Structure formats: C-alpha cells, structure tokens
Structure 1
Amino acid sequence: MGKRIPSCCRLVLPFVLTLLLLLLVLAPDVRVAHAQGLKLVGPKKYYLVLGNSLAFGFQPDLDFTHGYSDYFFQDLKAHGTTNMVNLACPGETSVTFLNGKCPYPFLRKYPYLGSQLNAALNFLRAHPGQVSPVTLDIGANDVLPYLNSQTCAIDTTGSASALQTLDYNLRQVILPQLRAALTVNGQVTGDLLVMNYYDPYQNICPNTVPYSQQINEHLASDVQGFGVLVDVFSAFGGAAVPNNNICSYTWMCSVFHDIHATDKGYQVIAQAFEQTAGY
C-alpha cells in the first residue's frame, strides 16, 4: 500500500486543487489569438471603434450608452487605455463604410465628414502608434436585405452577390488599409479585432442558421492575416435551436421585436472580445 497522506495535507489538498481550477477557469485565454496566427500588441492610449449599429451600441429603448464597446472599454481602462473613439454608424454596410452615405449619420457619436474608413485612417495617422485595439463589425447590413423575416425566405442569389462584395471590400480595401495605418516604421503597433455575428432569427426562422454560419465563414476567411476573429456566434449559444439566449441577449422577444443586443447581450459580446484578446 502507498503512503497515507497526513491529515493536515488532506485538509489543504482540496483547497489547492480548487484554487488551481479557478485559476484555469478565470485566466485570460490568450490561445485564441495565437491560434489565429497573430501576436497581439495589447491595449494603448486610444481604443478605436468601427462598424455598424452594434458597434454604435444601438438599443430600441434609445439606450445608446451600453454597447459592447462601452463594456470592453471598461476592461481596457484597467490596462491603461484612456480614450475611446467610436466612429460607428448605424445601418453601415461595407459599401457605405468605404464610400460614405451611411443612412443614419446624425446618430454618430464622433463627428466626421466622408466615409468611416477615411475617418478611421485619418485618426490612426494622426495618432501613430497610440491606438490599440481597433474593433470592427461590418457585413450584417450587406446581407440582411436578402432575408425576409416574415416568411423566412432567403434570396440566395442576392446574398451570394452581397457576400462577394463584402469579401472584396474587406480583403482588398478595408482590412489592408487599416492594417497599414496601424503599422509604423515596419512595426504593427495595434490590434485589429473583427467580430462575427449571432443569429437573432434562429428561433423563428431556423433555416437562417446555416445562412449566418456562411456569413461568419466568410468573415473568418477575410480577416486572416489582418486581424483576429471574435466568435460572437458561439458566445450567444451557437447553432442550437431553440437558442434560449436569444430572448435575454437580444430584443427579439420584447415589444420591440428588435435584432439588436440588450445590455446583457452587449456584455456577452464584450466578454468575447476580452477572452479572445486575452489582455
């Protein structure tokens, strides 16, 4: 028989094991970013927010101050970030991101003229080496017009064309230019984090789940080599139908019947950013 563990150690051992387990659970998971082939720089003075209504922090009750960027900024403050600049515009597509004419420019939190991309590049060039991270969510408004939420019908031809446009705009223009603007004297000075999308319709239109997964596959492919993908789709519960998180993470079950995230949903998105970045 083996040696008996002294009674004092028998009392301490469960505590030690529990502590180790907590450390494993609570420790930032930096493996995600590393697995995507990029070494992250870490937070700096400025946090730059780019994208559409989710980046803006839209909620149908007109609470625009509890978006995922606001929650993520609170985390970044603990790492030395002092300023958040939110250029996001509700209704933005990858086309208007490039060319301007966002449908709701009056809602923007940060004033600028022209396209969001140009505003972002101007800000990055005016603050070289001082901006990290840059977060981006774009693409949902490119494909949403091809989904009929009343009948659950999807215009596959139109959506395929929209995805081609999104791929081109991201890989050939948006992401390369942002990456270049984050590069100073040959060194990448900031992190670019791009989120994918949850499916707000999956409980009422289960056929949209593969559609959402297809969009997210395109985003995952597009971001490779330029930044890190943040998997919001999985954080919201993934492809399961019914998805019990939809009613609490979005406004779909409320009187608004709205696709945007609730406070809780935005917190979940922010946590996905935090866990992916591993700051």
Structure 2
Amino acid sequence: MRPIARRRTLVAAALAALVLAAAGTVPAAAAPGGQHAPGGSHGPDGSGGRGGPHRPAYYLAVGDSLAAGYQSTPTGGHVVGRGYAQDLARTLGARAAQEHRPFEFTDLGCPGETTGTMADGGCPYPHSFTGSQLEAAVAYLAVHRKDEVLVTIDIGANDVQRCAAGGTLDLPCALNGIEQVRTGLDRILGELRAAAGPHTRIVGMNLYDPFLAAWVTGDRSRELATASVQLSDSLNQVIGTVDARHRVPTADVAGAFATDAFTPTVPLGGQQVPLNVARILQWTNMARGDIHANDAGYQVIADAFLAELPRRYPKG
C-alpha cells in the first residue's frame, strides 16, 4: 500500500476518538521487528553463510508497503521494517532454531509499489535494489534454486486505492485498477514460478479494506464503506484466481479482518459498529488517516500466512 501517513479521505479526529475510547480492546502490540531473523542475514544477491549441520532455510518477502512493514507514527513520521514479514520471520526463525537450522530473511518490499512498478521498476520509495523488485526477486531465486525458500507476496492495493480517495468511489478507475492487478500479478507470479526451484514455496495474500473506517464518519460515508467492500471483494477474487492459476495458496487476510462481516455489531468507543469496521479501527492506523496495519494488524496478517504453511515449517 502507498506510504501516505495522513490521508484526507476520512475525518481523522472522529476515528481517533473512537479508537482511543476502545484502546482496551486492542491486542498488545508486537515488538518492533528488525530486517533479519535469528540465524543470519544476507542481501538480495543471495550472499551469506550456508554452514551448519543442516541446510539453511530462506525467507524472501516481496511486495508493497505492507511487505516492507510501513507504519505511520503518532508524531507524524513513519517507520519501516515493523510488519508482517518481520513477525513471520521471527516465528520461522524460532522454528528453524529448534531444528538447529540456519535461517535467513530478506525483505524486498517497497512502499508505493504497484504491479506495474514491481515488474518494470520505478518504486517511489527508497529501496535496496536496482532495477525492478521482480528482477531482484528472480535473481535471488536463481541463486537459491536448490535451497528451501519461502516467498511471500502482497501486491495490488496501490493499483486501486486511489479510486476511493476524496470520499467517493470512482468505479471506472477501480475496474481499470483491478484489470491491472489481473494482468500484472499474472506476469509477476509467472516469472517467480519460472525462477523458483523445487523446494520453493510461494504464498500470496488477499487484502483488508481500510476504507471501512468511513462507516463512523456519517451516513453518506457508510455508503462509501459498503461500496468499498464490494470493490475489495472483486479485487480479492482476482488475486485468488491468479494465485490459483500459478499454484500459489492465498493467505486469507480479508477473512481474518472479517471484511464482509457487517454483522454482528460490536461495542467500540461507546457505540455499536459492524465487526468489520471494528477490526479496521483496531488493527490499522486509520484513526490518524493511515491505511497501513498497526502492530496488532500485522501480526494478524502474519498468522494468516502461517495458516498456509505446514505447522512444522521449516523442518530439516
């Protein structure tokens, strides 16, 4: 998702009041994650140690700002490297350590990335690779073709999110963005799959709907919230279909965030709101106009990825 810490699509003050009032219902925040999990580290060129009694396991995260672990801060700044990929790497690194296996984690995620820039280059945020993120990922997989590698990918939000800016939904823009995801993700997964070795797992994810937060800003905004779910469902259906075409399981982040659940209603900030609205206000930073997940939300995303892996993965 695009790294914009403060958006004008919603009334941030109203959201902040709700979330502050409901602070006791938010799960405890995860510890900030670094770029590397226990067991070693290396860059996109694949360099790094391969020693130890068991062959190492590798984790490569590719995608947009969610993969990069982007979050805004209350003071108006932002951090990266504090997201689902770091949460997932900690869990997988701990599992590998129990098996006395080296584990190495590389994060190529670039905030602002679209399917187009991922494939052709031009991510607007400073990043660790030259050329495109897809080229860097393919090069990484070529180096590790014989190794056990997990690849996670999230992409597509930035192709469509601009279509719900300003408190309205631009339907032609949204339909065009979804088609861009269909063709762009197909190309990306095709190239990743072609570069992957026999021991590489690729897992995708669908997306939560941050614009559900509009529900609490007025009756007209509830129309935007409802319409945004229809857009989200269409986008997620495309992601799931393209993933399946390339034999890539899809982590059900939308399901974990209860995106379609306008019932039941639950208490939040002194009022009753739909469950899907509550989840967005609890697990993202929409209270200050930032569409990105918070620590709790990123852990939910990591858990959705874990659900698509064997319970003992990685295992020597």
TM norm structure 2: 0.68
Q: Match of 2:70?
A: 58
Match status 1:269 vs 2:301: yes
3-state DSSP of counterpart to 1:277: coil
Q: Match of 2:220?
A: none
Out of 200, 208, 216, the residue aligned to residue 236 of structure 2 is 216
Q: Match of 2:199?
A: 189
Q: Which amino acid aligns with 1:88?
A: G
The unaligned stretches of length 5 or more in structure 1 are 1-42
Q: Which amino acid aligns with 2:85?
A: S
Q: Match of 1:127?
A: 144
3-state DSSP of counterpart to 2:149: strand
Q: Match of 1:141?
A: 158
Q: Which amino acid aligns with 1:96?
A: T
Task: Give the superposition deviation at 1:44.
Answer: 5.7
3-state DSSP of counterpart to 1:46: strand
* Aligned 8 A contact 2:202 2:249 in 1: yes
Match status 1:228 vs 2:249: yes
Separation of aligned partners in 2, 1:63 and 1:162: 27
Correspondence 1:42-53 to 2 at 5 A: 45-53=57-65
* Aligned 8 A contact 1:194 1:223 in 2: yes
Q: Match of 2:107?
A: 86
Separation of aligned partners in 2, 1:70 and 1:272: 14
Task: Give the superposition deviation at 1:121.
Answer: 0.5
Task: Please identify runs of 4+ aligned residues in structure 1 that moved more than 4 A.
Answer: none
Q: Which amino acid aligns with 1:269?
A: I
Q: Which amino acid aligns with 2:173?
A: G
- Alpha-carbon displacement from aligned partner over 1:182-203 (angstroms, at most 9, x marks no partner): 13xxxx2211100100011113
Q: Match of 1:6?
A: none
* Aligned 8 A contact 2:163 2:173 in 1: yes
Task: Give the superposition deviation at 1:131.
Answer: 4.5
- Alpha-carbon displacement from aligned partner over 1:20-59 (angstroms, at most 9, x marks no partner): xxxxxxxxxxxxxxxxxxxxxxx96210000000000000
Task: Give the superposition deviation at 1:158.
Answer: 1.9
Structure with greater Cα Rg: 1
Q: Match of 2:266?
A: none
* Aligned 8 A contact 2:56 2:104 in 1: no
Match status 1:202 vs 2:212: yes
Determine which structure has greater relative contact order: mean sequence separation of CA pairs < 8 Å that are 6+ residues apart, divided by chain length.
Answer: 2
Out of 182, 189, 195, the residue aligned to residue 167 of structure 1 is 182
Q: Which amino acid aligns with 1:180?
A: A
Question: Compared with structure 1, are the counterparts of its residues 74 and 249 closer, same or farther at alpha carbon in structure 2 (3 Å cutoff)?
Answer: same
3-state DSSP of counterpart to 1:238: coil
Residue identity over aligned pairs, in percent, reads 36
Say what the alpha-carbon RMSD is for the aligned residues.
1.6
The unaligned stretches of length 5 or more in structure 2 are 1-54, 215-224, 263-273
Q: Which amino acid aligns with 2:157?
A: A
* Aligned 8 A contact 2:213 2:281 in 1: no
* Aligned 8 A contact 1:124 1:131 in 2: no
Q: Which amino acid aligns with 2:92?
A: L
TM norm structure 1: 0.76
Once the two structures are overlaid, the 10-residue window that deviates more, 54-63 or 79-88, is: 79-88
Question: Compared with structure 1, are the counterparts of its residues 135 and 81 closer, same or farther at alpha carbon in structure 2 (3 Å cutoff)?
Answer: farther
How many residues are matched?
224
